[in-house]
C-alpha cells in the first residue's frame, strides 16, 4: 500500500538534516500511550517482550523505554525503511531492529507479550493484522493507534498532497532551472541575453502562482517545505552572481524529488486511513481470532479535533 522508497527518502533526509521527525507530537496521544504502557508494564513480569511494529525512528519505543525505567524490557522494532531503523538505533542502541513489512516480519510466532504501533500497521494493509495476532504470546496485548479517515490528520495530509501537487504543476522549479541553464550558456558564450530575458519573463508568473498558494492555503504538513523552497529560489535569484549555475541546477532536481517523495508519503497516509467500517471489521477479525476486544474507538487530539482510531485487545493466556 505504501511506497517504500518515499519513506526511505523521508528518513534519509531527516537524518541528513539532523531532524527528529518521529511521529505525531500531541499531548493527548502521548498521554494515552503513557497510561496504557505504564499499566501494561506494571502488570507483567519482567522481562517484557515488546514489539514496536512499523516503528519509524522510534518515537513510541523511546516513550516505552522512558516509562519502563529500570524494568527489564526486550524491545524489537520493525520498519520497512532501514534509514528509519538507523535513526532509531542512535537513540535506542539496545533495541533489536528488523527491516521488514509489518505484514511479514519473519519473527517467531507467539514471541511477544506486547505489540504496539503508532500510525504504522495500517500502511501494510489487512495482512498486517494477521501478523500482529500471529506474533502475540498467550496473554499478550496489542495497542494500535491508526489513521482515521476524515480526521484532522487525514485532512491535513490531503491538503499537503494538494499543495505539493499545485507547487510542482506551477513549474516554478523547472522555469528557474531553465533560467539557470540559459545563464550558464551565456557565460560560455553559447547563449544570448534575449534568451535569458525570455526565461526571466517566464519565471515571474510561476513565482506569483506559488506565492498565492502559500498565502491562500491553510497550514498543512507541507507548508514549511514549500515556503523554504520558495524563499531559497528567491534568495538565489536575487544573488545570481554569487551562485554557480552548475551547483544550483542539480539542487532544483533534488528539491523536486524531495517534494514528490513528500507528496507520496502524504498520499500513503490518506490511502491508509481507516473508515469506521474498516475499523469495526478489524475488531471482528480480532475477536474471531480469539482475542478479547478492550477498546475499538476514536480518540481526540489535545485541541479536541478528531485524531485517530485506537484498538486495544488481549489474547487469553
Dmax over CA atoms of the chain, in Å, equals 79
Alpha-carbon gap, residue 110 to 20, rounded angstroms: 32
Q: What secondary structure letter does DSSP report for 80?
A: S
CB hemisphere CA count around 199 (13 angstroms): 22
Strand partners, 96: 76
pLDDT score at 11: 74
Kind of pairing, strands 112-118 and 136-147?
A: parallel
CB 164 within 8 A of CB 230: no
Alpha-carbon gap, residue 187 to 271, rounded angstroms: 48
Strand residue runs (E) in the chain: 48-53, 73-79, 96-99, 112-118, 136-147, 292-300, 306-314
pLDDT score at 245: 92
Q: Write down the pTM of the prediction.
A: 0.87
Alpha-carbon gap, residue 52 to 58, rounded angstroms: 8
pLDDT score at 24: 63
Q: What are phi and psi of 160, to 5 degrees?
A: -65, -40
Q: Where are the domains of the chain?
A: 4-151+273-314, 154-269
Using a 10 angstrom Cβ sphere, with 0-12 exposed, 13-18 middle and 19 or more buried, the burial of residue 193 is exposed
Q: Which three-class secondary structure state does DSSP give residue 19?
A: coil
Strand partners, 147: 308
What's the first-to-final CA gap in the chain, in angstroms? 33
CATH number for the domain whose boundaries are 4-151+273-314: 3.40.50.150
Handedness of CA 274, 279, 281, 286 (dihedral sign): positive
Alpha-carbon gap, residue 313 to 240, rounded angstroms: 60
pLDDT score at 225: 95
pLDDT mean values, one per 10 residues, the chain (317 residues): 65 59 77 97 96 96 96 96 94 96 97 97 93 98 98 95 97 98 93 95 98 93 96 96 93 95 93 97 97 97 96 96
Query: Helices 127-135 and 276-288 meet at what angle, rounded to 10?
Result: 40
Strand residue runs (E) in 96-202: 96-99, 112-118, 136-147
pLDDT score at 3: 62
pLDDT score at 19: 52
Amino acid at each position: 500500500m505504501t511506497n517504500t522508497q518515499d519513506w526511505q527518502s523521508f528518513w534519509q533526509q531527516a537524518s541528513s538534516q539532523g531532524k527528529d521527525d518521529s511521529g505525531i507530537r500531541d499531548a493527548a496521544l502521548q498521554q494515552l500511550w503513557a497510561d496504557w504502557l505504564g499499566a501494561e508494564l506494571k502488570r507483567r513480569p519482567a522481562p517484557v517482550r515488546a514489539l514496536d511494529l512499523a516503528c519509524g525512528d522510534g518515537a513510541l519505543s523511546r516513550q516505552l523505554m522512558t516509562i519502563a525505567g529500570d524494568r527489564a524490557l526486550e524491545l524489537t522494532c520493525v520498519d520497512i525503511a532501514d534509514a528509519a531503523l538507523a535513526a532509531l538505533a542512535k537513540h535506542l542502541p539496545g533495541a533489536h531492529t528488523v527491516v521488514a513489512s509489518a505484514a511479514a516480519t519473519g519473527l517467531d510466532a507467539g514471541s511477544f507479550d506486547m505489540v504496539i504501533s503508532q500510525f504504522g500497521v495500517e500502511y501494510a494493509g489487512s495482512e498486517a493484522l494477521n501478523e500482529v495476532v500471529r506474533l502475540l504470546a498467550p496473554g499478550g496485548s496489542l495497542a494500535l493507534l491508526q489513521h482515521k479517515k476524515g480526521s484532522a490528520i487525514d485532512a491535513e495530509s490531503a491538503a499537503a498532497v494538494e499543495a505539493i501537487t499545485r507547487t510542482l504543476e506551477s513549474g516554478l522549479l523547472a522555469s528557474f532551472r531553465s533560467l539557470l541553464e540559459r545563464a550558464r550558456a551565456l557565460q560560455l558564450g553559447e547563449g544570448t541575453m534575449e534568451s535569458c530575458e525570455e526565461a526571466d519573463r517566464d519565471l515571474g508568473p510561476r513565482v506569483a502562482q506559488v506565492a498565492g498558494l502559500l498565502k491562500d492555503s491553510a497550514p498543512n504538513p507541507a507548508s514549511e517545505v514549500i515556503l523554504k523552497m520558495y524563499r531559497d529560489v528567491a534568495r538565489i535569484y536575487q544573488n545570481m552572481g554569487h551562485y554557480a549555475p552548475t551547483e544550483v541546477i542539480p539542487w532544483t532536481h533534488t528539491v523536486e524529488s524531495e517534494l514528490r517523495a513528500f507528496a507520496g508519503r502524504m498520499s500513503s497516509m490518506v490511502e491508509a486511513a481507516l473508515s469506521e467500517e474498516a475499523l469495526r471489521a478489524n475488531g471482528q477479525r480480532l475477536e474471531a481470532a480469539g482475542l478479547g476486544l478492550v477498546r475499538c474507538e476514536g480518540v481526540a487530539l489535545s485541541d479536541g479535533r478528531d485524531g485517530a482510531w485506537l484498538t486495544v485487545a488481549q489474547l487469553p493466556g
